[in-house]
Structure 1
Amino acid sequence: MKAAPQSQQRLLDLQELDAALDRSAHRRRTLPETAEIERLEGRLTELRDAVVTAETEVSDLDREQKKAEQDVDQVRTRAERDQQRLDSGMVTSAKDLANLQSEIASLRRRQSDLEEVVLEIMERREEADARAARLRTEREEAGRELTSVTERRDAAWKEIDEEVAATGAARTAVAKDVPDDLMALYEKLRAQFGGVGAAALHRGRCQGCHLALNTVDLNRIRAAAQDEVVRCEECRRILIRTPESGL
């Protein structure tokens, strides 16, 4: 392949710009904010689920407490009714009086037991309510943190995108100075060799693979015409000759 020395030199400028674009793309992919956002989104999902579970528990305990309080009221009402019968003097039979007094005592014990149940449920509900409140607070804090990190990521993305736009414009201008066939070879090699398609020959060493060329290869390159596109025998990248090539 033939190309004017000036066109070949432009490949080094192009390679530098492409390397900058690759670095920008890598930075965009690996922003620490991106990983932090992923972590916070996962945490928020966990907290939302936990809040729903805690609030459901509170709701269940509310119903349980209401049912227990209704049971207390029923027993209290019945005991009060029996006490009124006892106090009214309407029951005169000794046996009936004994039975009524026994029932009242049983109802009082039952009422006391049910009131203990209500207190236990109230304690559990208070704990569940506090847990739900704490989880809601954590959810809100995680949401604010996610918003803040997202804003930082978006600002970083904007900065990177602006850099990419400027570098891309510069690359377009440089690419106009490179013949199509040389550009096609360069792009092919870039795809094959980790984004580096052309490298300078510096003091007898390829800057692409960083290996020193042997004497035979250096003599071959030394003898090649200035417009001949030469390749590194080790890595096959395009070698660009410069005054520092050591030829």
Structure 2
Amino acid sequence: MNAAPADQLRLLDVQALDVRLTQLAHRRENLPEHAEIRSVETQLVHQRDLLVAAQTEESDTAREQTKAESDVDQVRQRAARDQQRLDSGQVSNPKDLESLQSEIASLARRQDDLETVVLEIMERHESAQARAKELAAGLEETQSRAAEVTARRDAALTEIDAEAATVRAERATAVEAVPADLLKLYEKLREQQGGIGAARLYQRRCEGCRLELNITELNEVRAAAPDTVVRCENCRRILVRTPESGL
């Protein structure tokens, strides 16, 4: 294949733009904010689960406390009624009087036991409340962090996409000046060779595979006409000659 030396040099410009696009795509894919967001999202799920558990315990202990306090009230009311009967003198039968006094004493013990239960439930309820409040504050803080990281990621993506759009526009202009057959070969080689289809011959070294040409290969390149499209014998990429090739 033949192509004017100027066209071959333009191919290096296209290659440089393609390398930049690859770098931008890699940067876009590997922004540190991506990993940070995944970590924060995992943390949010965990914190929400803990908060739901704490709020459930808070609700359950609130119902327990209400039930226990109701039980205390019932015992207290029963004891008050018995005490009222006792104080009124309505009960005169010694046996009934002894039974009533025994019931009042039993109710007092029962009330003490229930009040102890109420205190234990209140402690658990207050602990659950404090835990839920702490977790809610932690969740809010993590949500703020997630929003901040997301904003940083979006800003970085916007910047990268804007630069990539500029580079693509430059590339579109650059390829217009490259002959179609040369561009087709370049695109084929770029796909086969990891994104590098054309490389400069610099100081007798191919900048594509980084290997130095041996004397036989150098003589062949020297003998080639200026418009001959030379290929590297090692990596088969298009080898573009420049004044710095060392020929």
Distance apart, 1:93 and its partner CA: 1.6
The equivalent of 1:91 in structure 2 is 91
Gap regions ≥5 residues in structure 2: none
Residues 89-128 of structure 1 mapped to structure 2, 5 A cutoff: 89-128=89-128
TM-score in terms of structure 1 length: 0.97
Residues 178-217 of structure 1 mapped to structure 2, 5 A cutoff: 178-217=178-217
The equivalent of 2:35 in structure 1 is 35
Q: Matches of 1:99 and 1:238 in 2, distance apart? A: 112
Per-residue CA deviations over 1:180-217 (Å, capped at 9, x if unaligned) read: 22212212222222211110011111001110111111
Q: Matches of 1:40 and 1:105 in 2, distance apart? A: 59
The equivalent of 1:50 in structure 2 is 50
Per-residue CA deviations over 1:37-75 (Å, capped at 9, x if unaligned) read: 111111112212221111111111111111111111111
The equivalent of 1:175 in structure 2 is 175
Q: Matches of 1:195 and 1:121 in 2, distance apart? A: 68
Q: Matches of 2:126 and 2:180 in 1, distance apart? A: 76
Moved more, 81-90 or 123-132: 81-90
TM-score in terms of structure 2 length: 0.97
Identity fraction in percent: 62
Moved more, 58-67 or 88-97: 88-97
Amino acid at match of 2:171: R
Q: Matches of 2:61 and 2:188 in 1, distance apart? A: 69
Q: Matches of 1:111 and 1:34 in 2, distance apart? A: 60
Aligned length, in residue pairs: 247
Amino acid at match of 1:228: T
The equivalent of 2:76 in structure 1 is 76
Gap regions ≥5 residues in structure 1: none
Distance apart, 1:5 and its partner CA: 1.3
Amino acid at match of 1:151: A
Q: Matches of 2:185 and 2:109 in 1, distance apart? A: 96
The equivalent of 1:234 in structure 2 is 234
When the two chains are superposed, the root-mean-square deviation of aligned CA atoms in Å is 1.1
Amino acid at match of 1:30: N
Distance apart, 1:171 and its partner CA: 0.7
Secondary structure of 1:226's aligned partner: coil
Q: Matches of 1:239 and 1:88 in 2, distance apart? A: 118
Distance apart, 1:136 and its partner CA: 0.6
Runs of 4+ in 1 over 2 A off after TM superposition: none
